[in-house]
Structure 1
Amino acid sequence: MIITDGGAPLVTADGTVSVVQSVDWLAIAPPTITAVVALALLVADLFVPERHKRWLGAGAVVGLVAAIASLVPLRDGESRTFCLTGDTDTCSYTADHFALAVQLLVLGGALITALLSLHRVHREYPVGEYWFLLLASAAGAALLPASRDLATLVVALEVASLPAFALVGLRRGDRLSSEAALKFFLSSVTATAVTLLGVSFVYAATGSMHLTRIAAELGSVPGQLDTLAKTGVALTLVGFAFKTAAVPFHFWVPDTYVGAPLPIAAFLSVVGKAVGFSGLILVTVVAFPGYADVWGPAVAVLAAITMTAGNAAALRQDPDRPRSAVRLLAWSSVGQAGYLLVPIAAAAYSSDDQVGATVAYALMYAVVNLGAFAVVALVARTKPLNRISDYRGLVSSSPLAALALAFFLLCLAGLPPGIIGLFAKVTVFSTAVDAELGWLAVVMAVNVVVALFYYLKWTAVLFRAPAPDTGDAAPLPKTADGTAPAADTTVAAPALTLAIALTAVASVALSGYPELVLRFAATSLF
């Protein structure tokens, strides 16, 4: 295998390809550092005394910071590629603008998740396994946007997914956690099986696994193989549609988010979506542009149905139901997935680079949604029922947390002062208009108005007078041993406070200078 720098293959003077392996470690540093730190923490867990295992979390945070820092030298350079031969059309790894943007999102999301986890991991979960699984999933998610062949894409998808199954079910003795992990696992395995079948069909029709070669070969597929190729294209999209929580592949989301530990629910809502959307962009825009007439209408319909189903379900959430805050964020994430699909659908109808709007929206969504989950985690320390009604009067008991959550919800709704949310929605809306998908733009506009209701309703609860304690609160669903999670009355952990502060500062900065994110919408990513 050969690593090339800037796309230039290693060729000897006589024109032959050198068999000497020259690895560009900087290009592969983000996923490599994350994977190495994951293994180091798992091994260290065997030797570190129990009283010192909380320091493994600090090691995870440092490792993720180092992985993010490794992106800095790459941001202004040329694309770096990993090729099997001297032919740059057979590159399996490319550190280009698109890959770096998604890797920043993934590793930043994993870092916030680690901060949300620090205060409870050593008390509730097997420490070494938790940090290993979290970083292993993040490493797979960081590998996927740089993948440029179907085999690497599928492997990266599974490396990101398999540890996530275990993380969801890591809360021992919790019936909801075990049930959520089982649903997540079974539905994901089914989607992966369908995707592998699609990949095999595409390979049979084109004779290649590399995305750019597939795009070239699909244009000259013989008539008798055309149906096979179109079927393969459709089936390949299923696995990535599942990861994005697009309807009808969304049914696992509410129960999984509710049953998973709160930091892992936040991780899935951001990093899991980044995996799905980056994979979906690569297979549609890079590998299958010649079959845009197949996947374009399908993605457009998925976008409309997804945003409508997600917002409609969010409207129906009972504010007094246990864990209704997490369930509302789960359905909200389904609705947001519909908006993220719009630019991908528009790319099938327009020659312009539309998918940058998806990256811009995903970056905005990641920051504010992680911030919302961070405040939910803070409130859950003293009110483990985590009902929306538990947030009534939060501005009196914790004014800064209430203001932060209100700002995050306004960003998700697209209302000032959450300017970044408004600008991101307008950018996505304009891609549908530019691609002459007027009906999809109308559906999106209606759904944005519908979503305002439940975002503003939750925001208003924060500023209402606290409800009197009547003592008739519904009990939290019990664990397998017959107990319910107890309230954590200790002072908020510094790491949790830091997570809220980081996301709040980032959200305010992006609202003041939205060009930091929106420039992706106007830049060619490939």
Structure 2
Amino acid sequence: MRIDQVALIPVYVAAGTALLALLVDLIAPGRRGPVVVTTALGMAGTAAAAIAVGVGGGRRTSLCLGPDQCSLVLNPASAIVAGVFAGLALGTLALSVPLLRTGEVPVGEYCFLLAASLTGAVVLGGARDLITLIVALETLTLPLYLLVGLRRGAREGAAAAVTFFVVSVASTAVALLGAALVFTATGGVHFADIAGRPVAPGAKPLLEVGVVLLLTGLAFKVAAVPAHAWAPATYDGAPLPVAAYLSTSSKLGGVVALVLVGVSAARPVLSSSGLTLAALAVLSMTVGNLVALRQRRMVRLLAWSSVAQAGYLLAPLGALIAAGDVTPLLVAATIGYAFFYVLLEFSAFGALVAVRGARDGGAIADYRGLARRSPWPAGVLVLALAGLAGLPPGLAGLFAKMAVVQALLGGNATWLAVIVAINAVIGLAYYVRVGATLFVPAEAPATTPGEALDQAYDGEKAGEFAVPGGGRAPWPVVTAVAVAATIAVIVGFGPELVMRAAATFG
């Protein structure tokens, strides 16, 4: 086996960050600052290493049995994906500062789990065989079970973690069964072997069943129907920063895995792969939007919205049924939409942390009058909701939906484009409702008008957002929200840069 150690540097940096977080916590027990700073530097170093090696150094391969049998490929596209994962982890750490200050979670363990999850995410983008792919996905996901339930004395967090774990185990079992059937039918686990080897006529049905099971199991990571039931309870029971990471990194990881399996590996059975992905897309966007209409809690609404967004993410891959071949436009629409989605979703959760702290998202009615009390986080939340709905000023989300429809029309899947358009209109109902709530005067303000103005504007003068109850969002939260919202605005004006990079993935 040939091993290129340089290609593994980003993985080493991420894993070393996790171990170093525990070590610093042992050396300086009870001190949050050194652990958080060490973890943040390690995450930034992971992004820098991935970009430097993958983009600056060109295409590198490692863990290779032969010329086309490499388990890890680090090229510009996979390096950018690893950098995005590192950015999400670093942003989540910034959002977690209010949670870490209260002492509700042990700092060392929290930072270790977050960095351990990042390690799996870094490997995922470059995985080129089924074993590496599934191990990387589980490494990304396993720490999240503990992060969801890590908060001391929170029963809802423990219940959410158990729900998440049970559904995940079942989905992983389905994915492993599918991988076993694919190996039985093709005799290979590397994507190049599965896609390139001729399949015996008698083995093709076995390969089709294996691909369908594998894609269905992986759909759990993106909270696609029917593996979606865990998302609302888990998001609502987890601390807000953990929910932000879960709804972005897990979703992006699932999309990457589905693209690698459904497109790169499943070329001999693209019609079956496309049919499976189309069915998942239609069910997810329809169920997610219809149930989101009835939600009264903010995080549950975002959770059901993310189920619907999973449908939009998978729709371009569903066009493989009619297209009959893989086109860069289909891959670019899916990966590009995923990038726009994680920016907007992270901005939405960041705004919630800025105005409510890290514990609970509360009811939608609690946000009445937010635009007057805390105008800047309210503006970020409006931007995120508009983008998720595909409306201005969220130009990134608007372009993402246009790219999906264009890809479907170009792939001769007009019927799927019509379903996407109908669901986008349904989604407007709850996105606009929540956005309008921010501008409705509060029924019974908890403070006098003078105190409310002080709470709303004193934080702005200090460069911080005001939090209900007189507190202020720490500067790391403000920075993370501002950076995410700024990037979302910038890519809204230059989306072609994202789409060009997304087209090279695979």
Do Structure 1 and Structure 2 share a fold, with TM-score over 0.5? yes
The alpha carbon displacement at 1:194 in A equals 1.4
Q: Which residue of 1 aligns with 2:20?
A: 40
Quickly say closer, same or farther: Cα 1:41–1:284, change in 2 above 3 A.
Answer: same
1:24: how far off? 3.8
Corresponding residue number in structure 1 for 2:97 = 118
* 1:505 equivalent in structure 2: 486
Give the letter aligned to residue 516 of structure 1. Answer: L
Aligned: 1:63 with 2:42: yes
Question: In 2, distance between residues paired with 1:112 and 1:63?
Answer: 13
1:131 maps to 111
**What is the match of residue 186 of structure 2?**
206
Identify the residue that residue 158 of structure 1 maps to in structure 2. Answer: 138
User: After superposition, what is the alpha-carbon deviation per residue over 1:130-153, rounded to whole angstroms, capped at 9, x for unaligned?
Assistant: 111111011101211211111111
The match for 1:340 among 303, 308, 313 is 313
For the Cα contact (< 8 Å) 2:51–2:79, is it kept in 1?
no
| Residue 94 of structure 1: aligned partner | 73
The residue number in structure 1 matching 2:343 is 367
Give the Cα–Cα distance (whole angstroms) in 1 for the partners of residues 322 and 298 of structure 2. 38
Separation (CA, whole Å) in 2 of partners of 1:382 and 1:296: 40
2:463 equivalent in structure 1: none
Equivalent position of 1:148 in the other structure: 128
Q: Is the Cα contact below 8 Å between 1:187 and 1:252 reproduced in 2?
A: yes
Aligned residue for 2:61, secondary structure, equals strand
Do the aligned partners of 1:382 and 1:488 also contact (CA within 8 Å) in 2? Answer: no
Correspondence for 1:2: 2
- CA distance in 1 between partners of 2:292 and 2:367 (Å): 17
Shift of 1:383: 9.4
Taking the TM superposition and a 5 Å limit, the aligned residue runs for 1:253-268 are: 253-268=231-246
Counterpart of 2:399, as a letter, is F
CA distance in 2, matches of 1:248, 1:280: 15
Q: CA separation in 2, counterparts of 1:199 and 1:105?
A: 27
TM-score by length of 2: 0.91
Q: Confirm or deny: 8 A CA contact 2:50 2:80 kept in the other structure.
A: no
Between the aligned partners of 2:482 and 2:219, the Cα distance in structure 1 is: 32
For 1:387 and 1:327, locate their aligned partners in 2 and report how far apart those are by CA, in whole Å: 9
- Residues 1:455 and 2:431 aligned together: yes
- For residues 366-515 of structure 1, the aligned pairs below 5 Å read 366-381=342-357, 386-469=362-445, 489-515=470-496
Which of 224, 227, 232 aligns to 2:202? It is 224
Where do residues 317-336 of structure 1 align in structure 2 (5 Å cutoff)? 317-318=295-296, 324-336=297-309
Q: Any stretches of 5+ residues in structure 2 without a counterpart?
A: 448-466
Per-residue CA deviations over 1:81-130 (Å, capped at 9, x if unaligned) read 11433x22110000124312321221111111111002322411011111
Specify whether residues 470 and 57 from structure 1 end up closer, same or farther in structure 2 by C-alpha distance, changes over 3 A only. Answer: closer
TM-score (norm 1): 0.88
The farther-off stretch of 243-252 and 226-235 is: 226-235
1:23-72: CA deviations, max 9, x gaps? 342x223232111100111122222131x233311211111111111233
Count of aligned residue pairs for this structure pair: 482
State the superposition RMSD in angstroms. 1.9
Shift in Å at residue 520 of structure 1? 3.5
- Give the gaps of 5 or more residues in structure 1: 4-22, 319-323, 472-485
SS in 2 for 1:464: coil
Q: 1:269 to 1:382 in 2, by over 3 A?
A: closer
How big is the shift at 1:221?
A: 2.2
CA distance in 1, matches of 2:390, 2:321: 26
| Conserved 8 A contact 1:289-1:348 | no
Q: Answer yes or no: is the 8 Å Cα contact 1:376–1:386 preserved in 2.
A: no
Cα distance in 2 for partners of 1:100, 1:60 equals 20
Choose between structure 1 and 2: higher helix proportion.
2
Give yes or no for contact 1:116–1:495 (8 Å, CA) kept in 2: yes
Residue 335 of structure 1 and its aligned partner are, at CA, apart by 0.7
1:37–1:63 contact (8 Å) kept in structure 2:
yes
Letter in 2 for 1:313: V
Percentage of identical aligned residues:
41
Distance 1:294 1:62 in 2: 44
1:425 partner letter: K
Distance 1:204 1:511 in 2: 45
Name the CA shift for 1:385/1:62 in 2 (closer, same or farther; >3 Å).
closer
Q: Which residue number corresponds to residue 243 of structure 1?
A: 221
Q: 1:298 aligns with which of 276, 283, 304?
A: 276
Q: Residue 298 of structure 2 contacts residue 361 of structure 2 at CA under 8 Å; is this kept in 1?
A: no
SS of 2:203's equivalent? helix
Is it true that 1:54 corresponds to 2:54 in the alignment? Answer: no
SS at match of 2:202: helix
Counterpart CA distance in 2 for 1:384 and 1:206 is 48
C-alpha distance in structure 2 between counterparts of 1:129 and 1:55, whole Å: 14
CA distance in 2, matches of 1:369, 1:225: 42
Tell me the CA shift for residue 290 of structure 1.
Answer: 0.9
Deviations 1:369-393 (A, max 9, x none): 1011011112223995621111111
Compute the displacement of 1:313 (Å).
1.0
Distance in 1 of aligned mates of 2:168 and 2:32: 32
Instruction: Measure, in 2, the Cα distance between the counterparts of 1:119 and 1:75.
Output: 35
* Match for residue 309 of structure 1 among 287, 294, 310: 287
Q: CA deviation at 1:348?
A: 4.6
* Partners of 1:195 and 1:166 in 2: CA distance: 22
Contact persistence 1:379–1:386 (CA under 8 A): no
Residue of structure 1 equivalent to 2:454: none
Contact 1:381 1:489 in 2 (8 A): no
- In structure 1, distance between residues paired with 2:91 and 2:387: 18
**TM-fit CA distance, 1:494:** 0.8
8 Å CA contact retained: 1:240, 1:280: yes
Distance 1:229 1:511, change over 3 A: closer
What residue number does 1:474 align with?
A: none
